[in-house]
Chain A
Amino acid sequence: MRIILLLGILFLVACSSIDCPVKNTVAVYYDVKQYDEEGELVTDTLKDTLWVWSRRVDGQDTLLNRLVGNTRFSLPISYQQPEDTLIFAIRDTSLVFTLDTVWLKKDDIPHFESVDCAAHFFHELTGVRCTHNGIDSLVLHTTSVTYDDGVTNLRIFFKDRQQVTPYY
């Protein structure tokens, strides 16, 4: 009888664990791509230097700073704006800048793990458009934006430097 009561009390005061996901960054993943001479889709390398800016409340507008030599990069996505506006600045080796604006339209879905884990938003990309000064095209690949960092959300194709319209 005493043992039964003791076990009941032990259960009531037993510990519980908090199990929040370790990988909890929600970001949009861009793969740099190009078509080779045979028209095959192949991985490209970012030969020029890339900055990405967006207007933020705190005035810290840089999202990506001096990225070069990458085949893939990620950018944050806003929690609740219906459309994100991003400025892509590309500087080539002769220090000439080209600027492009990228608009990313999306639906925002609140994501809940537990009351002990911080709230996040997942997203469903519904549309993408951009100007075409340095960017040749931007193609939606995987529309779902989650914790998963193994996906490609967008394929970005940069123009050949001969085609670029410089920004002065």
Chain B
Amino acid sequence: MRILKNRIALWLLALLLPALPSKAQNPLDLERDTLPFFRGFAVSGEIIGAMQMILGDYGQYEAALRLNLRNRYFPIFEVGYGKASHEDDVVTGISYHTKAPYFRVGCDFNVAKNKRSSNRVYAGLRYAYTNYKVDISCQTFPDPTWKWPTSFDVKDIPCWQHWAEVVFGVDAQVFGPLHLGWSVRYRRRLFHEDGITGKTWYVPGYGTQDSSNLAATFNVIVDI
């Protein structure tokens, strides 16, 4: 029993040791946090979504406002406009159209050891929501059994989605107030309504549902 207690004590000591400052010969010698509570804010624009919008069938324009609290906590509000315009798929003949705004709110935590550095490592959480309408149509195709010509054209299907994201990101100062940063995000749908047709494909701000739950962003950030 005593051996077990000693082991637990050793484990607790091992867990607590890294939390102590490395130079803490004297526990009262801790560096006082002199940073003000509000350290300004930053605005940013997202590049990957914009590139997808220009080069592909879907994408989003997105901007964010991020507050800096003591260089440690960064409440963030992201707002964007997502759009998909997939016309007459070569294989399936399906067209899909949607466009809608979306938003995310959350907070990043600077997990870098030196929080005074202008380069930061973030971990964070987001809650997001969008309300959108979808148009889905299909070129005429034969009924697989009866062979009659068949088609459909459904417009303005009302849909909505709540989702959450776990974010890990890096933000590096390029010069002056200009930063570049990327983030990797794990997304998970919380609640959703996909309309009468069963499913939707591209959800503004969330991306396509047939891809993985991982996403990435690349941001140009200006500290103000």
B152, A114: Cβ atoms closer than 8 Å: no
Given A17-B210, A116-B91, A79–B150 Cβ distance below 8 Å? yes
Q: Interface with B: A5-13, A92-100, A148-156, which one?
A: A5-13
B197, A17: Cβ atoms closer than 8 Å: no
Given A1-B180, A8-B47, A113–B147 Cβ distance below 8 Å? no
B174, A112: Cβ atoms closer than 8 Å: no
A36 at the interface (CB under 8 A from B): no
A4, B211: Cβ atoms closer than 8 Å: no
CB under 8 Å from chain A, chain B span 168-224:
170, 172, 174, 180-182, 196-201, 208-212, 216, 218
Q: Which of B92, B172, B212 contacts A119 (CB 8 A)?
A: B92
Interface of A is mostly: loop
Residues of A within 8 A of B201 (CB): 112, 114-115
Q: Which of B170, B181, B210, B212 contacts A116 (CB 8 A)?
A: B210
Within the assembled complex, what's the spacing in Å between the Cα atoms of A168 and B200?
A: 53
Distance of B210 from chain A, by nearest CB (Å): 5
Within the assembled complex, what's the spacing in Å between the Cα atoms of A116 and B146?
A: 24
Given A11-B48, A12-B51, A115-B86, A76–B145 Cβ distance below 8 Å? yes
Given A1-B180, A12-B48, A112-B136, A76–B211 Cβ distance below 8 Å? no
Given A7-B216, A16-B211, A116–B92 Cβ distance below 8 Å? yes
B146, A109: Cβ atoms closer than 8 Å: no
Residues of A in contact with B, size category:
20 to 34
- Number of A-B pairs whose CB atoms are under 8 Å? 102
Residues of A within 8 A of B52 (CB): 12
A56, B197: Cβ atoms closer than 8 Å: no
Given A109-B196, A114-B201, A119–B148 Cβ distance below 8 Å? no
Given A4-B172, A115-B89, A56–B146 Cβ distance below 8 Å? yes
Q: Which residues of B contact A (CB under 8 A)?
A: 47-48, 51-52, 86, 89, 91-94, 96, 136, 138, 141-148, 150, 152, 154, 170, 172, 174, 180-182, 196-201, 208-212, 216, 218
Q: Which residues of A contact B (CB under 8 A)?
A: 1, 4, 7-8, 11-12, 16-19, 54, 56-58, 63, 76, 78-81, 109-119, 121-122
